[in-house]
Amino acid sequence: MSADNSLAEDILKLLDKRQKLNSLSLSNELSIDHQRLVGAIKSLQSIGELIRCQQTETKRLDLTQEGRHIADNGSHEAIVFNAVPAGDDGGIEQSLLMKIIGNPSVAKLGFSKAMSQKWIAIDKSSNKSIVKRNVQSIEDEVQVLLKKIGSLTIDEVSDQQKQDLKKRKLIQEVVVKSYDIEKGDNFTLNIVKQETDLTAEMISKNTWKDKQFKDYNFDAMGIAPDRGHLHPLLKVREQFRQIFLEMGFSEMPTNRFVESSFWNFDALFVPQKHPARDLQDTFFLADPANCTQLPVEYMEKVRSVHSSGDFGSQGYQYDWKTEETQKNVLRTHTTAVSARMLYQLAQECQRDGKPFKAAKLFSIDRVFRNETLDATHLAEFHQIEGVVADVGVTLGDLMGLIQEFFLKLGIKRLRFKPTYNPYTEPSMEVYSYHDGLKKWVEIGNSGVFRPEMLLPMGLPPNVNVLGWGLGLERPTMIKYGIDNIRDLCGHKVDLQMVYDNPVCILENH
């Protein structure tokens, strides 16, 4: 028989003797943890009509941490009194007294209480403030009261005392729930073990007739089915994907984390001396360090637009190097994927002679930057990017698209601020008004791709390409109330967080 079964039997025996019991006083009497006792009472209660049970609430006074300290060590005023030397020529300089006591808040409060109790007085007959005892001895009533507070009922302490001790934050009122129990209609001292299952054996041996069966608990929670759980980033990504799909965009293939500098930078008209191409900002691959499969003809056009200028642009006027463009990197933005797609689009109409087909494309995937890690930055994160290529589309179209896109996220107030990207002109940072922070915060970057990028690819000159991008982590952290990115990604992620977080439904969507 388990320990708690025997506890349940003890309760029955006591109940038989006394007719009535209260769980709290019983737990004191038997020195048994109240919770354990309640467990045993509940198990008795589940056996039909064995006992009658009623929950009651009693208020009790409990010591706060400071209250406990005073119960053990004496009140602040007593500490101050005791620190003042006794005797007629006793006394101590006030500043020294405060120093001896050490803890400034004990000293200050204790001093003023001891003064108002007239336990001590200040003698200013010399030039100094000398604190002297005013009485021979004191009775530390506060300590005495606090010491016995646990064993008093709430009515045994006067209202004045309660108010005073509460104001000093030495006691607090706690509500204790307990159970009053009485014998039920089917009271017995012999608990028959209730069956939870009707077995084949009980039926074949006909023993079921003599058994007692436990009632079903229809309020019990079901067992959560075992299943996989999506990480918050994946849930939010799915919502962004839905928004793009609703707006008629198709997804770009983003399964290429390792990219050549050519597609990540040069095709985007990022000069080879650009600071983003430093070791400090970009991860370069050691093996394979170089990419040798680059479209030669197109690469030569990129070389000429960078080094000597072309298509009406004077370029950057520098010595463009093949070795530099071949260097493999972990892609630093998904715009590398957009560049590949736009080149493919140009190829279809140039090489295959098909008419230019307008395109609306999007991607959401991982990018890598050699960042200093902190609460909001990791070396890898996710970008969301939209690209629209069509004849004659304008900056106004881009602003409208961005407005529409963010509206679907529930973000209404937008502002655009001119900025610089090597591959777009004009370029705009996107800001939204954050109601919580009460300020405008940057939420994305955008622009109209430069002819220096599009014309070498072979896109028709009347085709404009619009693009915008934003991070996935920030909206996810806001959505799920996570303020440190390390709680979202990496080895410190609490899997319970992944398990517990609900599906993502973005406002307005």
Name the residues that contact ligand PHE, by CB under 6 A: 333, 335, 385, 421, 424, 445-447, 467-469
Distances from the Cα of 449 to the Cαs of 101, 123, 252, 265, 307, in angstroms?
Answer: 72, 85, 18, 13, 19
Q: In terms of CB distance, is 469 or 475 closer to ligand PHE?
A: 469
Is residue 459 within 8 A of residue 342, CB to CB? The reply is yes
What's the closest the beta carbon of residue 296 comes to ligand PHE, in angstroms?
A: 26
Q: Which residues contact 120 (CB under 8 A, 6 or more apart)?
A: 80, 81, 84, 111, 114, 131, 132, 133, 134
What's the closest the beta carbon of residue 448 comes to ligand PHE, in angstroms?
A: 8
Asked, as a colleague might, if the bond just before 104 is cis with ω within 30 of 0, I would say no
Residue 332 CA to residue 274 CA, distance in Å, equals 13
What's the closest the beta carbon of residue 227 comes to ligand PHE, in angstroms?
A: 35
Helix (H, G, I), strand (E, B) or coil at 481: coil
Q: In terms of CB distance, is 275 or 436 closer to ligand PHE?
A: 275
Q: In terms of CB distance, is 259 or 385 closer to ligand PHE?
A: 385
Q: Which residues contact 347 (CB under 8 A, 6 or more apart)?
A: 458
CA 173 to mean position of chain CA atoms: 32
What's the closest the beta carbon of residue 107 comes to ligand PHE, in angstroms?
A: 58
Helix (H, G, I), strand (E, B) or coil at 9: helix
Residues making up the chain, counted from first to last: 509
Distances from the Cα of 509 to the Cαs of 43, 61, 246, 384, 505, in angstroms?
Answer: 48, 51, 11, 17, 7
Q: In terms of CB distance, is 105 or 250 closer to ligand PHE?
A: 250
Is residue 361 within 8 A of residue 224, CB to CB? The reply is no
Nearest Cα neighbor of 367 from 383, 347, 343 is 383
What's the closest the beta carbon of residue 374 comes to ligand PHE, in angstroms?
A: 19
What's the closest the beta carbon of residue 427 comes to ligand PHE, in angstroms?
A: 6
With the C-alpha atoms ordered 183, 187, 189, 191, is the resulting torsion angle positive or negative? negative
Is residue 83 within 8 A of residue 101, CB to CB? The reply is yes
Q: Which residues contact 149 (CB under 8 A, 6 or more apart)?
A: 61, 62, 63, 67, 71, 157, 171
What's the closest the beta carbon of residue 168 comes to ligand PHE, in angstroms?
A: 57
What's the closest the beta carbon of residue 424 comes to ligand PHE, in angstroms?
A: 5
Exposure string over 271-283, b if 16+ CB within 10 A, otherwise e: bbeeeebeeeebb
What's the closest the beta carbon of residue 221 comes to ligand PHE, in angstroms?
A: 46
